[in-house]
Amino acid sequence: MAIFTGAGVAIVTPFNEDGNINRDKLDELIDFHCGHGTDSIIVCGTTGESATMTEEEHIECVKFTIDRVKGRLPVIAGTGSNCTKTAVDMSKEAADYGADGLLLVTPYYNKATQAGLIAHYTEVAKAVKAPIIMYSVASRTGCNIEPATAAKLIKDVDNIVGIKEASGSISQVAKIVEMTDGNLDLYSGNDDQIVPLMALGAKGVISVLSNVAPQETHDICELFFRGDVKGSRELQLKALPLIEQLFCEVNPIPVKRAMALMGMDCGPLRMPLTQLSAEHEESLAKAMKDFGITLV
Protein backbone atom coordinates (compact mmCIF):
# COMPACT_ATOMS: atom_id res chain seq x y z
CA MET A 1 0.00 0.00 0.00
CA ALA A 2 1.36 3.42 -0.96
CA ILE A 3 2.31 5.89 1.76
CA PHE A 4 -0.13 8.28 0.12
CA THR A 5 -1.94 8.91 -3.13
CA GLY A 6 -2.73 12.35 -4.51
CA ALA A 7 -0.97 15.64 -3.86
CA GLY A 8 1.65 15.81 -1.14
CA VAL A 9 2.91 19.28 -0.30
CA ALA A 10 6.65 19.88 -0.19
CA ILE A 11 6.01 22.32 2.63
CA VAL A 12 8.03 25.50 3.08
CA THR A 13 9.78 26.13 6.38
CA PRO A 14 8.73 29.45 7.92
CA PHE A 15 11.49 31.49 9.56
CA ASN A 16 11.41 34.40 11.98
CA GLU A 17 13.29 37.56 11.08
CA ASP A 18 16.20 36.33 13.20
CA GLY A 19 16.41 33.25 11.00
CA ASN A 20 15.08 30.73 13.50
CA ILE A 21 12.22 28.36 12.64
CA ASN A 22 8.85 30.00 13.19
CA ARG A 23 6.95 27.22 14.93
CA ASP A 24 3.72 29.19 15.25
CA LYS A 25 3.59 29.83 11.51
CA LEU A 26 4.51 26.22 10.74
CA ASP A 27 1.62 25.15 12.97
CA GLU A 28 -0.71 27.42 10.94
CA LEU A 29 0.52 25.95 7.68
CA ILE A 30 -0.03 22.41 8.92
CA ASP A 31 -3.63 23.23 9.87
CA PHE A 32 -4.12 24.95 6.51
CA HIS A 33 -3.02 21.86 4.60
CA CYS A 34 -5.00 19.47 6.77
CA GLY A 35 -8.12 21.47 5.91
CA HIS A 36 -7.56 22.22 2.22
CA GLY A 37 -7.22 18.93 0.40
CA THR A 38 -3.53 18.16 0.83
CA ASP A 39 -2.94 14.40 0.91
CA SER A 40 0.45 14.29 2.65
CA ILE A 41 2.99 16.66 4.16
CA ILE A 42 6.62 16.30 3.10
CA VAL A 43 8.76 18.22 5.57
CA CYS A 44 12.40 19.29 5.28
CA GLY A 45 12.71 18.80 1.56
CA THR A 46 14.26 21.17 -0.95
CA THR A 47 11.29 23.55 -0.69
CA GLY A 48 11.73 23.50 3.08
CA GLU A 49 15.30 24.81 2.74
CA SER A 50 16.73 21.68 4.33
CA ALA A 51 20.13 22.41 2.80
CA THR A 52 20.64 25.32 5.21
CA MET A 53 19.31 23.60 8.33
CA THR A 54 21.49 22.09 11.00
CA GLU A 55 20.83 18.43 11.76
CA GLU A 56 19.29 19.51 15.07
CA GLU A 57 16.91 21.96 13.36
CA HIS A 58 16.07 19.35 10.76
CA ILE A 59 14.98 16.73 13.27
CA GLU A 60 13.24 19.33 15.44
CA CYS A 61 11.17 20.43 12.42
CA VAL A 62 10.28 16.83 11.55
CA LYS A 63 9.22 16.04 15.12
CA PHE A 64 7.22 19.26 15.40
CA THR A 65 5.33 18.43 12.21
CA ILE A 66 4.54 14.89 13.33
CA ASP A 67 3.29 16.20 16.68
CA ARG A 68 1.08 18.87 15.13
CA VAL A 69 -0.36 16.75 12.33
CA LYS A 70 -1.56 14.21 14.92
CA GLY A 71 -2.22 11.52 12.34
CA ARG A 72 -4.51 13.63 10.16
CA LEU A 73 -2.21 13.15 7.14
CA PRO A 74 0.83 11.01 6.42
CA VAL A 75 4.06 12.84 7.24
CA ILE A 76 7.09 12.09 5.10
CA ALA A 77 10.41 13.32 6.42
CA GLY A 78 13.15 14.45 4.09
CA THR A 79 16.24 12.82 5.56
CA GLY A 80 18.62 12.69 2.60
CA SER A 81 22.25 13.74 2.73
CA ASN A 82 25.41 13.44 0.67
CA CYS A 83 26.90 11.69 3.70
CA THR A 84 25.48 8.20 4.10
CA LYS A 85 26.07 8.16 7.86
CA THR A 86 24.19 11.45 8.27
CA ALA A 87 21.31 10.11 6.18
CA VAL A 88 21.23 6.97 8.34
CA ASP A 89 21.23 8.94 11.60
CA MET A 90 18.50 11.38 10.52
CA SER A 91 16.41 8.61 9.00
CA LYS A 92 16.57 6.53 12.17
CA GLU A 93 15.55 9.45 14.36
CA ALA A 94 12.66 10.48 12.09
CA ALA A 95 11.42 6.91 11.67
CA ASP A 96 11.68 6.14 15.38
CA TYR A 97 9.65 9.27 16.15
CA GLY A 98 6.82 8.16 13.88
CA ALA A 99 7.36 9.49 10.37
CA ASP A 100 5.10 7.61 7.97
CA GLY A 101 7.81 7.58 5.33
CA LEU A 102 11.19 8.99 4.39
CA LEU A 103 12.25 10.92 1.29
CA LEU A 104 15.93 10.53 0.42
CA VAL A 105 17.49 12.69 -2.25
CA THR A 106 20.46 11.35 -4.18
CA PRO A 107 23.84 12.39 -2.71
CA TYR A 108 24.84 15.82 -3.98
CA TYR A 109 28.19 17.49 -4.66
CA ASN A 110 30.25 14.33 -4.14
CA LYS A 111 27.62 12.53 -6.26
CA ALA A 112 27.93 8.75 -6.66
CA THR A 113 28.19 6.05 -9.25
CA GLN A 114 25.14 3.84 -9.76
CA ALA A 115 26.88 1.25 -7.59
CA GLY A 116 27.35 3.95 -4.99
CA LEU A 117 23.67 4.83 -5.10
CA ILE A 118 22.74 1.21 -4.55
CA ALA A 119 25.11 1.00 -1.58
CA HIS A 120 23.88 4.34 -0.16
CA TYR A 121 20.16 3.58 -0.34
CA THR A 122 20.62 0.02 0.86
CA GLU A 123 22.62 1.17 3.89
CA VAL A 124 19.95 3.67 4.93
CA ALA A 125 17.13 1.19 4.34
CA LYS A 126 18.82 -1.44 6.51
CA ALA A 127 18.82 0.99 9.43
CA VAL A 128 15.06 1.73 9.46
CA LYS A 129 11.72 0.01 9.04
CA ALA A 130 9.90 3.02 7.56
CA PRO A 131 9.15 3.00 3.82
CA ILE A 132 11.57 4.99 1.70
CA ILE A 133 10.93 7.11 -1.40
CA MET A 134 14.05 7.83 -3.42
CA TYR A 135 14.33 11.32 -4.89
CA SER A 136 15.97 11.69 -8.28
CA VAL A 137 16.66 15.32 -9.22
CA ALA A 138 19.91 15.45 -11.13
CA SER A 139 19.44 19.14 -11.99
CA ARG A 140 20.18 19.89 -8.33
CA THR A 141 22.39 16.99 -7.25
CA GLY A 142 24.24 16.07 -10.43
CA CYS A 143 23.30 12.48 -9.75
CA ASN A 144 20.61 10.58 -11.67
CA ILE A 145 18.96 7.33 -10.57
CA GLU A 146 19.09 5.23 -13.72
CA PRO A 147 16.10 2.96 -14.44
CA ALA A 148 18.13 -0.22 -13.88
CA THR A 149 19.31 1.13 -10.51
CA ALA A 150 15.78 1.96 -9.40
CA ALA A 151 14.61 -1.49 -10.51
CA LYS A 152 17.35 -3.27 -8.57
CA LEU A 153 16.68 -1.32 -5.37
CA ILE A 154 12.92 -1.83 -5.55
CA LYS A 155 13.44 -5.55 -6.09
CA ASP A 156 16.18 -6.16 -3.53
CA VAL A 157 15.26 -3.87 -0.62
CA ASP A 158 11.83 -4.39 0.92
CA ASN A 159 11.31 -0.94 2.43
CA ILE A 160 12.45 1.03 -0.62
CA VAL A 161 9.02 1.43 -2.14
CA GLY A 162 8.99 4.47 -4.40
CA ILE A 163 10.66 7.26 -6.30
CA LYS A 164 10.01 10.96 -6.65
CA GLU A 165 10.99 11.47 -10.27
CA ALA A 166 12.10 14.97 -11.22
CA SER A 167 14.35 14.27 -14.17
CA GLY A 168 11.82 15.82 -16.53
CA SER A 169 12.34 12.91 -18.90
CA ILE A 170 9.12 11.08 -19.67
CA SER A 171 11.16 8.44 -21.47
CA GLN A 172 13.19 7.76 -18.33
CA VAL A 173 10.06 7.57 -16.20
CA ALA A 174 8.43 5.14 -18.63
CA LYS A 175 11.53 2.95 -18.55
CA ILE A 176 11.56 2.93 -14.75
CA VAL A 177 7.91 1.88 -14.66
CA GLU A 178 8.51 -0.83 -17.27
CA MET A 179 11.57 -2.21 -15.45
CA THR A 180 9.94 -2.23 -12.00
CA ASP A 181 6.96 -4.24 -13.22
CA GLY A 182 4.34 -2.30 -11.26
CA ASN A 183 6.14 -2.67 -7.92
CA LEU A 184 7.10 0.98 -7.64
CA ASP A 185 5.19 3.90 -6.09
CA LEU A 186 5.91 6.69 -8.53
CA TYR A 187 5.43 10.38 -7.69
CA SER A 188 5.93 13.30 -10.01
CA GLY A 189 8.58 15.70 -8.79
CA ASN A 190 7.50 18.31 -11.35
CA ASP A 191 4.20 20.12 -11.03
CA ASP A 192 3.93 20.55 -14.78
CA GLN A 193 4.03 16.77 -15.35
CA ILE A 194 1.47 15.45 -12.87
CA VAL A 195 -0.98 14.16 -15.48
CA PRO A 196 1.65 12.67 -17.80
CA LEU A 197 3.18 10.71 -14.93
CA MET A 198 -0.19 9.55 -13.63
CA ALA A 199 -0.84 8.25 -17.14
CA LEU A 200 2.23 6.08 -16.59
CA GLY A 201 0.91 4.90 -13.23
CA ALA A 202 2.07 7.56 -10.77
CA LYS A 203 0.37 7.71 -7.37
CA GLY A 204 0.42 11.49 -7.47
CA VAL A 205 2.83 14.37 -6.94
CA ILE A 206 5.16 15.80 -4.32
CA SER A 207 4.34 19.38 -5.05
CA VAL A 208 5.53 22.98 -4.72
CA LEU A 209 2.24 24.21 -6.23
CA SER A 210 0.36 22.68 -3.30
CA ASN A 211 1.79 25.35 -1.00
CA VAL A 212 -0.41 27.98 -2.68
CA ALA A 213 -3.11 25.87 -4.39
CA PRO A 214 -3.53 22.71 -2.33
CA GLN A 215 -7.12 21.95 -3.26
CA GLU A 216 -6.54 22.41 -6.98
CA THR A 217 -3.41 20.24 -6.93
CA HIS A 218 -5.33 17.55 -5.07
CA ASP A 219 -8.13 17.87 -7.63
CA ILE A 220 -5.75 17.30 -10.56
CA CYS A 221 -4.97 13.92 -9.03
CA GLU A 222 -8.44 13.08 -7.77
CA LEU A 223 -10.14 13.80 -11.09
CA PHE A 224 -7.65 11.56 -12.88
CA PHE A 225 -8.12 8.72 -10.39
CA ARG A 226 -11.90 9.00 -10.76
CA GLY A 227 -11.59 8.59 -14.52
CA ASP A 228 -12.16 12.23 -15.44
CA VAL A 229 -8.95 12.52 -17.44
CA LYS A 230 -10.28 15.49 -19.41
CA GLY A 231 -11.06 17.45 -16.25
CA SER A 232 -7.69 16.56 -14.75
CA ARG A 233 -5.88 17.60 -17.91
CA GLU A 234 -7.75 20.90 -18.13
CA LEU A 235 -6.83 21.78 -14.54
CA GLN A 236 -3.21 20.79 -15.13
CA LEU A 237 -3.04 23.04 -18.19
CA LYS A 238 -4.75 25.91 -16.39
CA ALA A 239 -2.07 25.71 -13.69
CA LEU A 240 0.88 25.80 -16.10
CA PRO A 241 1.37 29.62 -16.16
CA LEU A 242 1.36 29.69 -12.36
CA ILE A 243 3.72 26.71 -12.15
CA GLU A 244 6.07 28.47 -14.55
CA GLN A 245 6.16 31.54 -12.32
CA LEU A 246 6.72 29.43 -9.20
CA PHE A 247 10.00 28.42 -10.83
CA CYS A 248 10.94 31.77 -12.40
CA GLU A 249 13.76 31.84 -9.86
CA VAL A 250 15.15 28.90 -7.95
CA ASN A 251 12.67 27.16 -5.65
CA PRO A 252 11.62 28.11 -2.96
CA ILE A 253 12.24 31.81 -3.66
CA PRO A 254 9.03 32.36 -5.70
CA VAL A 255 6.73 30.15 -3.62
CA LYS A 256 7.65 31.90 -0.38
CA ARG A 257 6.89 35.25 -2.00
CA ALA A 258 3.63 33.85 -3.38
CA MET A 259 2.56 32.85 0.10
CA ALA A 260 3.31 36.33 1.40
CA LEU A 261 1.15 37.77 -1.38
CA MET A 262 -1.66 35.53 -0.11
CA GLY A 263 -1.26 36.86 3.43
CA MET A 264 0.65 33.80 4.61
CA ASP A 265 4.06 35.40 5.10
CA CYS A 266 6.59 32.72 6.02
CA GLY A 267 9.46 35.07 6.68
CA PRO A 268 12.84 35.39 5.04
CA LEU A 269 14.85 32.90 3.06
CA ARG A 270 18.13 31.63 4.36
CA MET A 271 21.18 32.74 2.44
CA PRO A 272 22.45 32.15 -0.14
CA LEU A 273 18.83 32.41 -1.35
CA THR A 274 17.64 35.98 -1.83
CA GLN A 275 14.29 37.70 -2.21
CA LEU A 276 12.36 37.51 -5.49
CA SER A 277 13.10 40.31 -7.93
CA ALA A 278 10.47 43.02 -8.42
CA GLU A 279 10.08 42.08 -12.08
CA HIS A 280 9.37 38.45 -11.27
CA GLU A 281 7.07 39.38 -8.41
CA GLU A 282 4.85 41.28 -10.83
CA SER A 283 4.55 38.31 -13.19
CA LEU A 284 4.04 35.92 -10.27
CA ALA A 285 1.22 38.04 -8.86
CA LYS A 286 -0.47 38.18 -12.26
CA ALA A 287 -0.29 34.41 -12.69
CA MET A 288 -1.73 33.89 -9.22
CA LYS A 289 -4.66 36.22 -9.90
CA ASP A 290 -5.28 34.63 -13.28
CA PHE A 291 -5.45 31.24 -11.58
CA GLY A 292 -8.04 32.57 -9.15
CA ILE A 293 -5.91 33.04 -6.04
CA THR A 294 -6.91 36.02 -3.92
CA LEU A 295 -4.04 38.37 -3.04
CA VAL A 296 -3.97 40.65 -0.01
Catalytic residue numbers? Answer: 135, 164
- Three-class SS of residue 37? coil
Q: HEC profile for the chain?
A: CCCCCEEEEECCCCECCCCCECHHHHHHHHHHHHCCCCCEEEECCCCCCHHHCCHHHHHHHHHHHHHHHCCCCCEEEECCCCCHHHHHHHHHHHHHHCCCEEEEECCCCCCCCHHHHHHHHHHHHHHCCCCEEEEECHHHHCCCCCHHHHHHHHHHCCCEEEEEECCCCHHHHHHHHHHHCCCCEEEECCHHHHHHHHHCCCCEEEECHHHCCHHHHHHHHHHHHCCCHHHHHHHHHHHHHHHHHHCCCCCCHHHHHHHHHCCCCCCCCCCCCCCCCHHHHHHHHHHHHHHCCCCC
Distance CA 37, CA 67 (A): 20
Amino acid in the structure at residue 80: G
